[in-house]
Structure 1
């Protein structure tokens, strides 16, 4: 064998799998056809958050009436800053791999035979293989990508400049984040969402608060909008069917945030007896194992949720199991949205409990009830905690710091903590995380304020 482990794909899932297996004494190679870090580091998570954080700084300055200087966004300079961050993070990842003696092989890895990977005409062998090839946008019949003015989110976000009128198809995580970014850059932004609420699947109050905030910023939002592109010349024109009317919506640029497929081209999964679902995603158990005990799969290629959060942990789980440490995926996966008002969500909503005929209740604490929110000049939003039989089963927050607070609550869910358990915890004052303490107080004894 050339290696103990070969990891196909150098995104965050492949990276974490490689590091963990190497830490446990395995001889590891990682194969990447493009750039180490994959889509998250190079095109999606890191660049998008860099840009959105810049927008938030700008909005804070505009909101602070006691700051008299004016501020504008220099997009070219910001883009250079973004590119520098990408390179810095990527260099650190490569250095970490090298420090653990992981062999980096540049090229497209192909699976044709059991235990072998072909790259650039050369064959490498390994005892265990981790498939971490990610996913890609697909061109849907109603929204054909053309590489010009109908683009996937990450291509659009990395354009050197943007036109004035932008239509975003899909009001999910990517759609909301991009709407936040583009609107702050002074663009005319429209969201077309097929479902009855923005952020489908999220807590309804969170979705409504987000919609309200975006509309206050000037984003136009169509819900229950069954749309398709009917023209994509100089302008992109949509035919939009609404519950009570038909409209034509046009823009200079259309960003299609819906539709992805697993990257399995060149992987003859049938030949190595690795099973996939009806959409082509590799089927894995909670140990990241496939139907063939020699093969593991992590990240987007292993199905929902398609997130770097899941990919990172799944890579560690695969590395653990390959290295002889029994490990399983967590039960809960927090979701963070870096919109104008941050969003964090984990676990069940009250509606979820009702659908399952489970007794439960929820408590809501407004950001304005937390002293730190006032010092930050960020009093909009709230935290909602869902409880069943005194056990915390869900948490959903919109507001400043939500993407950080939700991690504490994810830990609470994973550990099976009760209201009594969290009530005993002392939270530092003044912090946004104190909102959890306030929620526990109200669940046990009612409001303090």
Structure 2
């Protein structure tokens, strides 16, 4: 039985742990798929590279609002796809080679606990003084009748298809559905989105969610309050039976994309045998320092938290690295407010409380909404649908939440994230800072000043 000082399970954000401070340890890393995890290979990075291409298409097609006549020839899907993965695919082999040359044992296989702090990998048993569980998550595949009889895609596979379908049914209405709905509709695919709830992006602020649903319905068919009752083959494609408030619908499409959420990969670890406590969603339970229920075993990323955000996993990796190196000086994340963005069209970004959550909690709050169209740069964009929204506590005058829908939302929200993290008051971030005129950041400034 091999023994290690440190074993890391999962090479997404887990790969960030291994800095030169650990070079003196006997270390192993175990990855069942590819180095870089979901983000690099099947998630954030390639999807945003597709989004940038889709943005370019839609910007050209909408340029007439600026007095520019432009058109887009059919998108060369294979050229776009191959350009993207030509950047990404070589990184796995180079990462494995780098780790092995630096003296780390690399196992390209699945690990399972057979006892606390005892793992089985490739039929071998190994133990370790310290284990970090960072095995990530995967797409949920629902138990929809007939789904196993048709060809379908998830976010793991849809970016590598060989040909663009003429039509696509998208099962789900969250982040992934919004982003891929944007990409494929921009590329000329006839997209139908099937959403169980009354709006798309239900986790967003109601006002943002409603505006996005309205805009998405202008470019795609959107069925709301829709329950998929069954799926069946239809020629080379699929037939989806959907129950809606106005009756039954049959959606026929050449391709089906299933994106109804993600689940942690902890079920593949035999976590119970390892003594790890899991919550009802399958996440490894940790304390604020990311220690699990087993001394010497730590966790981070999608296997631990519910955010499913790469920047959160990266922050957790930095905390865990410090705690492994300095067990007498444990750190926690200093800011638990987790911002996020949805890279669809229009782009969306959010941090903190939504207005509906503030109401649900019975909190006192002030709210301000400012349209892009109220700013000089918004005029330049001829933007009529975007806005920034901020909520604040009237007692201490600090921000409770911020929500932006429109061009560059993920960038515009950053000073509001910093204000919340640093405890700045609305007065400080609105009045004590100069905002460049006539930059788009004035929409943030104006929303704050109105508070």
TM-score clears 0.5: yes
- State the match for 2:186 in structure 1: 184
- Summarize the alignment of residues 65-80 of structure 1 with structure 2, pairs less than 5 Å apart: 65=64, 67=68, 70-72=71-73, 73-80=75-82
Counterpart Cα distance in 2 of 1:271 and 1:248 = 45
Counterpart Cα distance in 2 of 1:20 and 1:261 = 32
- Summarize the alignment of residues 295-444 of structure 1 with structure 2, pairs less than 5 Å apart: 295-324=297-326, 325-329=329-333, 330-375=335-380, 380-389=385-394, 390-423=397-430, 424-443=432-451
- Summarize the alignment of residues 37-76 of structure 1 with structure 2, pairs less than 5 Å apart: 37-65=36-64, 67=68, 70-72=71-73, 73-76=75-78
Deviation at 1:167, TM superposition (A): 0.8
Verify the 8 A CA contact 1:350 1:361 in the aligned structure 2.
no
Q: Which runs of no fewer than 5 residues in structure 1 stay unpaired?
A: 444-449
Verify the 8 A CA contact 1:22 1:101 in the aligned structure 2.
no
Deviations 1:379-434 (CA, angstroms, capped at 9, x unpaired): 64111001112110100000111112223322222222210221212233443333
Verify the 8 A CA contact 2:230 2:240 in the aligned structure 1.
yes
- State the match for 2:15 in structure 1: 15
- TM-score for the superposition, normalised by structure 2: 0.89
Deviations 1:173-218 (CA, angstroms, capped at 9, x unpaired): 111111101101111111111111111121111112212222222x
Describe the shift of the 1:371–1:102 C-alpha distance in structure 2 as closer, same or farther (beyond 3 A). Answer: farther
- Summarize the alignment of residues 83-122 of structure 1 with structure 2, pairs less than 5 Å apart: 83-87=85-89, 103-122=105-124
Counterpart Cα distance in 2 of 1:261 and 1:62 = 37
Q: Which runs of no fewer than 5 residues in structure 2 stay unpaired?
A: none
The yes-or-no answer on 1:253 pairing with 2:260 is: no
- State the match for 1:159 in structure 2: 161
Deviation at 1:301, TM superposition (A): 1.6
Verify the 8 A CA contact 2:115 2:275 in the aligned structure 1.
no
Deviations 1:44-70 (CA, angstroms, capped at 9, x unpaired): 211111111101012222223455564
Deviation at 1:21, TM superposition (A): 6.8
Verify the 8 A CA contact 2:368 2:391 in the aligned structure 1.
yes
How much is the aligned-residue C-alpha RMSD, in angstroms?
A: 2.6
Counterpart Cα distance in 1 of 2:146 and 2:289 = 37
